[in-house]
């Protein structure tokens, strides 16, 4: 069964959003490496890999439904970070935006009666709960460690264990 044009367009936009998310996380990782926060850099690199996996899973679904993915440009990341708390806050805001996008596609699938896409997107909805929890935990950890180099070092080491 083919996807509707409207749903296909929304899913393709999500593919590109997932790849852009990976690009953002890779850029953040680079900045954290430059601050010698190698644990957080490793955590962010894993986020990069997860976002790539999310995009590939979407592509597979679109292809299974006889859709074609148009890969759009990914804007460059022009912001550099000199503070891990800023990275954590921006990461949380970004994950909230991704969650909103997925919820919007889910609602569209429901409106169109596309049960298969609803079921497929359920995994993404659940995954986004985890993504937002992790991002909020990072904000809390860096807020607690912001005035103490020892706590920052310990939290960074904790993030490396992901």
Question: Any idea where the domains of the chain sit in the sequence?
Answer: 5-74+81-160
Q: Helices 5-34 and 84-112 sit at what angle, rounded to 10 degrees?
A: 170
pLDDT of residue 3 exceeding 90, the answer is: yes
The confidence score (pLDDT) of residue 162 equals 79
pLDDT of residue 16 exceeding 90, the answer is: yes
Token pair belonging to 1: 């069964």
pLDDT tens-digit profile of 148-160?
Answer: 999 999 999 999 9
pLDDT of residue 58 exceeding 90, the answer is: yes
Q: In CATH, which superfamily holds the domain spanning 5-74+81-160?
A: Ferritin, core subunit, four-helix bundle (1.20.1260.10)
Could you tell me if 73 and 18 are in contact, meaning their C-beta atoms sit under 8 angstroms apart? no
Is 54 annotated in a binding site? The answer is: yes
Q: Dihedral of CA 77/81/87/90: which sign?
A: negative
Cα-Cα end-to-end distance for the chain: 39
The confidence score (pLDDT) of residue 76 equals 87
Is 128 annotated in a binding site? The answer is: yes
Residues with Cβ < 8 Å from 158, sequence gap 6 or more?
39, 141
Is 51 annotated in a binding site? The answer is: yes
Q: Helices 38-64 and 5-34 sit at what angle, rounded to 10 degrees?
A: 160
Is 47 annotated in a binding site? The answer is: no
pLDDT tens-digit profile of 95-126?
Answer: 999 999 999 999 999 999 999 999 999 999 99
The pTM of this model reads 0.94
Longest pairwise C-alpha distance within the chain = 57
Is 95 annotated in a binding site? The answer is: yes
The confidence score (pLDDT) of residue 31 equals 98
């Amino acid at each position: 069964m083919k996807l509707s044009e409207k749903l296909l367009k929304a899913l393709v936009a999500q593919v590109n959003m997932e790849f852009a998310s990976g690009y953002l996380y890779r850029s953040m990782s680079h900045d954290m490496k430059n601050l010698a926060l190698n644990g957080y850099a490793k955590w962010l690199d894993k986020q990069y890999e997860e976002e790539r996996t999310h995009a590939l899973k979407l592509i597979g679904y679109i292809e299974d439904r006889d859709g074609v993915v148009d890969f759009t440009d990914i804007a460059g990341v022009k912001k550099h970070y000199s503070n891990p708390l800023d990275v954590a806050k921006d990461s949380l805001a970004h994950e909230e935006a991704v969650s909103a996008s997925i919820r919007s596609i889910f609602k569209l699938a429901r409106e169109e009666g596309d049960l298969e896409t609803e079921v497929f997107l359920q995994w993404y909805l659940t995954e986004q709960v985890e993504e937002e929890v992790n991002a909020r935990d990072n904000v809390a950890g860096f807020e607690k460690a912001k005035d103490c180099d020892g706590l920052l070092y310990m939290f960074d080491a904790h993030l490396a264990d992901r």
